[in-house]
């Protein structure tokens, strides 16, 4: 028997109603903030991600699902931001819409070692606001992320924010770190010794405790920020305070993607164990230009849906719908039943029947197992009279109704 690939998940019917709720809630909240949905392909040219996420990042080095054909290398998208900026430019949205607020819901793929909360196919609910560098937009985006969490009924999260500064500031920080590192190098974990060569900033948010201790001695606060970036960060913090949003400033927060500058943030939840980020995001002011577009500020974030569903939430599935279950007795009733089912469904009443030729007893059990609120029984006697028996499963009251009045009769209690 075939099995699913490690790190992928089947979302079975009993779980899918929570997924539908999380998605519907997100769409509702996005609409209040005037974000519109964008859907991009799950497959892109691999070089899009090399270029935007950074050739030395873990995602590009180790985690891309690559598909090689004769001339090209494609990748299953590991995240949404790069594809959305590609689409924004390819479809000239900077000319037609200018400042654009987009949201997306869909699968992402990373070839990671699977563990709790870490999958190879997972799902993002994300937002990208492209076309403004203003601090007020950072405040909107972070407050939107928090509003989503509140609407999902999630509490107990922590919002951590930092400013990486502009590309010049980031470079100054890299130089600083490189200067102070050599004497501590051997005390760092093997990964960080590698990062010291090709992605020194990532040492700052290494989770290894020994590395963390060393990091604390390396760097004090935000001394690398230029006056403009410092002002921007100050405005963001003040705006969040004004909205009553609790956050922690985390000077070691760098994030694993190269496109970030200025504000970065991460939202963690202690119930998650080692993979504790439920969502994260930040500014990427140079990405549009790096992909051949004009100089435009942009910021966004993404939540991992599987992780949102792992922490305590109120995202219970939709209440079971009211189902009408038709039981037919005999061939003539069976074919008449097809029309009746069609009539009910066209009137937006959920209706089903038995397709396994069950006995009356077996069909009643199936109706019960399906949570039917009404059972309809149609046999030869009823057919002759053009009637049908309607049984209310809660009260056990049964009555005979003219087939032509059936929809009206069933809609009465549905409308209450």
Q: In the complex, which residues of this chain contact ligand HAM (CB under 6 A)?
A: 79-81, 110, 112, 117-119, 122, 124, 126, 128, 277-282, 300-304, 306-307
Closer to ligand HAM by Cβ: residue 110 or 202: 110
CB of 119 to ligand HAM, least distance (A): 4
CB of 39 to ligand HAM, least distance (A): 16
Give the list of residues 6+ apart from residue 260 with CB closer than 8 angstroms, or none.
Answer: 164, 254, 282, 283, 284
Other Cβ atoms closer than 10 A to 176? 15
Segments of 69-150 assigned E as strands: 73-76, 100-109, 121-130
Closer to ligand HAM by Cβ: residue 78 or 337: 78
Report the alpha-carbon distance of residue 348 to residue 328 in Å, rounded.
21
CB of 114 to ligand HAM, least distance (A): 8
CB of 185 to ligand HAM, least distance (A): 27
Which element (helix H / strand E) includes 327? strand 323-328
Closer to ligand HAM by Cβ: residue 111 or 347: 111
Report the alpha-carbon distance of residue 192 to residue 181 in Å, rounded.
11
Distances (CA, A) of 293 to 89, 289, 337: 6, 4, 60
Q: How far apart are the first and last CA of the chain?
A: 48
Backbone region of residue 396 per phi and psi (left: phi > 0; alpha: psi in -120 to 50; beta: other values): left
Report the alpha-carbon distance of residue 152 to residue 147 in Å, rounded.
9
CB of 149 to ligand HAM, least distance (A): 12
Closer to ligand HAM by Cβ: residue 258 or 354: 258
CB of 48 to ligand HAM, least distance (A): 13
Closer to ligand HAM by Cβ: residue 280 or 366: 280
Closer to ligand HAM by Cβ: residue 251 or 281: 281
Closest C-alpha to 33, from 158, 147, 111, 204: 147
For tokens 């700052």, the residue is: 204
CB of 282 to ligand HAM, least distance (A): 5
Closer to ligand HAM by Cβ: residue 206 or 278: 278
Closest C-alpha to 233, from 132, 128, 138, 131: 138
């Amino acid at each position: 028997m075939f099995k699913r690939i490690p790190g992928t998940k089947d979302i079975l019917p009993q779980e899918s109603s929570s997924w539908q709720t999380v998605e519907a809630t997100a769409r509702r909240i996005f609409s209040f903030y005037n974000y519109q949905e964008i859907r991009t392909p799950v497959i892109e040219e691999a070089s899009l991600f090399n270029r935007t996420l950074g050739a030395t990042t873990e995602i590009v080095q180790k985690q891309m699902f690559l598909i090689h054909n004769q001339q090209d290398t494609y990748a299953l998208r590991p995240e949404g931001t790069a594809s959305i900026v590609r689409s924004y430019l390819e479809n000239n949205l900077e000319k037609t819409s200018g400042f654009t607020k987009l949201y997306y819901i869909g699968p992402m793929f990373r070839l990671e070692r699977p563990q709790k909360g870490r999958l190879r196919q997972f799902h993002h609910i994300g937002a990208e606001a492209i076309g403004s560098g203003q601090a007020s937009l950072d405040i909107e985006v972070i407050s939107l992320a928090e509003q989503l969490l509140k609407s999902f009924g999630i509490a107990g999260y922590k919002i951590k924010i930092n400013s990486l500064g502009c590309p010049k500031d980031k470079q100054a920080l890299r130089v600083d770190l490189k200067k102070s590192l050599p004497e501590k190098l051997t005390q760092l974990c093997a990964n960080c010794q590698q990062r010291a060569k090709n992605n020194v900033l990532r040492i700052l948010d290494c989770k290894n405790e020994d590395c963390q201790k060393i990091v604390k001695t390396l760097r004090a606060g935000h001394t690398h920020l230029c006056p403009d970036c410092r002002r921007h960060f100050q405005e963001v913090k003040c705006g969040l305070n004004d909205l009553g949003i609790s956050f922690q400033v985390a000077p070691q927060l760098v994030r694993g993607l190269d496109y970030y500058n200025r504000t970065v943030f991460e939202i963690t939840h202690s119930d998650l164990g080692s993979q504790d980020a439920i969502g994260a995001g930040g500014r990427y002011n140079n990405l549009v230009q790096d992909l051949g577009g004009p100089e435009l500020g942009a910021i966004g974030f993404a939540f991992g849906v599987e992780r949102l569903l792992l922490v305590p939430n109120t995202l219970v599935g939709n209440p079971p719908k009211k189902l009408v279950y038709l039981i037919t007795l005999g061939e003539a009733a069976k074919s008449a039943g097809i029309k009746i089912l069609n009539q009910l469904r066209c009137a937006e009443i959920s209706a089903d029947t038995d397709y396994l030729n069950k006995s009356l007893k077996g069909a009643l059990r199936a109706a019960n197992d399906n949570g039917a609120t009404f059972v309809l029984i149609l046999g030869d006697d009823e057919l002759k009279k053009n009637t049908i028996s309607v049984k209310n499963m809660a009260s056990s009251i049964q009555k005979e109704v003219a087939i032509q009045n059936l929809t009206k009769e069933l809609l009465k209690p549905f409308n209450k």
